[in-house]
Amino acid sequence: MSGQVALEQILAKKANKTLDRNDQVFIAFLGLVGTTLEDMAKLDKFEPMIAKLESVSTRISREIFTYWTQNRNLKVQFRLDAGRPGDPAPYNSGNILRTRIENTIHEASVSFDDRSTGFVWFFSFLVLFSQFKKTHGENVILLLDEPGTSLHAKAQEDLLRYFNEKLIPYHQVIYTTHSPFMVPADNLMAARTVEDVVKRDNQGNVLEVLGTKVRDDVLSVDRETLFPLQGALGYEITQTLFIGKNSLLVEGPSDLLYLKAYSAELMRVGRAGLSMAWTVTPVGGVDKIGAFMSLLYGNKLNIAVLTDFAKGQKKKIDDLRKLRLLREAQILTVNAYTGTGEADTEDLIGRDGYIALVQQAYGLPALTVGNPGTARVVKDVEDAFRVLPPSSPEFDHFFPSSFLIEKPEVLKSLPNHSEALDRFEKLFTDLNALLP
């Protein structure tokens, strides 16, 4: 849609039936808000003209920004001005209808034509197809080729919502896409793969051209064909499967298992465990917490972080605390509960307790761990495994935690068991206090 229209010229083109596509979108735009070119041409008094333009501006803003969620602080301005001699023809004379977009935060407006390509496309699409049912009725098939190509991911999600609410209930909608964000993850049965199938021999030579195949399953082996489906599923899993309304982010899967094991033991003896309202999510290290939180941003989740603390990590933790997505109170470091300068989740179990757990998990008669070079028992256990005979098993951080989950009775036999319970209970109490 054009951001400005020469009123007399478009009226003449309409009379001569020479309207082009842009003109037709603009006329649909006027129809969307309940007015016509002829109505605009009749505005020969200032106050009625202003009232009409403001009414049109308000109605179109409500319609469009119901679906454009990228910026809620925009408003459509509709103006009827006299052409200026210095403007390019045909906007240098007669009455010019202009569409402008105002940012209500910055209190400034720009011409509709100067907005992003994606916004102009989205606006024009909604204008045109909002009138489709009125113009053509419901017995219509819509074939759309790569809609939303100029839109970023969130805007493509808005477009899908518009499809579902405004088009699909009344029309048959078929569209092509290479974007995973245009694949409805909640309705994958509606998706079809389209693939140019060629049979080849083991050397890659073409044996037979089978042509284009449309499938309603995901049996395709072509990576390019499957990518949008894989991307849609991956995004949906990220947003729903591993997170909850209250998400506790930890570094690795072993952290999750230790929290589960000690929470269960504390609750078994009538003490405070980790609330079931928390969904514990391993993210793969402190470096990935910021990126993971960005993925979840906008879902209105309550997020807390529990992270190990080692030398060189202070800046990483400080950077996390600076994130606008997370309040400082929502970041807990393990060393605050061990009283040491450095600590991993394993240090909550205690040095002697964790060494005993590793011995039982690996079936070792003894494990000689030297004097602690650091406050982190995991590092010392790693050093001890390096000097074991070659036939000995390799140390794996995850294995002791999985052993503890499989044999929870071992937990009570670990040295300094009572002190470990105290440390975990204090952690769980602080985490539960962060729940709404």
Identify the helix (H) or strand (E) that includes residue 98.
Answer: strand 95-103
The helix-helix angle for 377-386 and 351-362 (nearest 10°) equals 40
Question: Average of pLDDT values for 86-109?
Answer: 87
Burial of 197: CB neighbours in 10 Å, binned 0-12, 13-18, 19+: middle
Report pLDDT for 177. Answer: 87
The one-letter amino acid at 150: S
Cα 182 to chain centroid, rounded: 13
| 251 and 182 both lie in a single domain | no
Q: Are residues 121 and 189 in the same domain?
A: no
Sort residue 43 into left (φ over 0), alpha (ψ -120 to 50) or beta: beta
Distance, in Å, from the CA atom of 156 to the CA atom of 368, rounded to the nearest integer, reads 59
**Structural domains counted in the chain:** 3
Same domain? 150 vs 188? yes
Q: Which residues partner with 250 through β-bridges?
A: 282
- Running DSSP on this structure, what letter comes out for residue 62? H
Alpha-carbon separation of residue 118 from 179, 333, 375 (angstroms): 15, 43, 54
* pLDDT value of residue 197: 81
Final residue of a structural domain among 76, 100, 134: 134
Q: Comparing 50-54, 148-152, 289-293, 333-337, which segment has the lowest mean pLDDT?
A: 289-293
The last residue of a domain, from among 80, 115, 134? 134
Residues 284 and 363 in one domain: yes
- Confidence (pLDDT) at 173: 93
- State the average pLDDT for the chain: 83
- Please indicate, yes or no, whether residues 282 and 332 belong to a single structural domain of this protein: yes
Same domain, 256 and 405: yes
Query: Mean pLDDT highest for which of 139-153, 189-203, 361-375?
Result: 139-153
Q: Answer whether residue 6 shows pLDDT above 80.
A: yes
Do 92 and 166 belong to one domain?
no
Question: What does the pLDDT read at residue 411?
Answer: 93
Find the radius of gyration of the CA atoms of the chain. 32
Report yes or no: 10 and 38 within 8 Å, Cβ to Cβ: no
Tell whether 103 and 203 lie within a shared domain.
Answer: no
pLDDT of 239 higher than 70: no
Flag whether pLDDT at 325 surpasses 90: no
Could you report the per-residue pLDDT of 177-231, keeping only the tens digit for each? 888 888 887 777 788 888 888 888 888 888 888 888 887 765 555 666 666 666 6
- Dihedral of alpha carbons 321, 327, 329, 333, sign: negative
* pLDDT value of position 327: 65
Same domain, 111 and 175: no
- The single-letter code of the amino acid at 320 is L
Domain boundary among 239, 271, 304: 239
Which one, of 174, 268, 248, lies nearest residue 214 by Cα? 174
Are both 268 and 410 inside the same structural domain? yes
Q: pLDDT confidence of 291, banded at 50, 70, 90?
A: low
Residue 419 is predicted with a pLDDT of 96
Q: Is the pLDDT of residue 169 over 70?
A: yes
Whether residue 261 sits in one domain with residue 144: no
Q: Residue 57 and residue 262: Cα distance in Å, rounded?
A: 60
Judge whether 339 and 331 are in contact, CB under 8 Å: no
Confidence (pLDDT) at 406 = 92
Hunting for tokens 């920004």 — which residue is that?
65
- Answer whether residue 334 shows pLDDT above 60: yes
Look at residue 128 in the predicted model and tell me its pLDDT: 82
Average pLDDT in the 114-139 region? Answer: 84
Neighbours of 391 (CB within 10 A): 5
The identity of residue 40, as a single letter, is M
Q: What is the pLDDT of residues 76-85, one digit of tens each?
A: 888 888 888 8
Q: How many CB atoms lie within 10 A of CB 338?
A: 22
Residue 163 per-residue DSSP state: I
Per the DSSP assignment, residues forming a β-bridge with 248 are: 280, 304
Cross-strand partners of 332:
306
Check whether residue 264 and residue 390 sit in a common domain: yes
- Domain of residue 25: give its range: 4-134
| pTM to 2 decimal places | 0.54
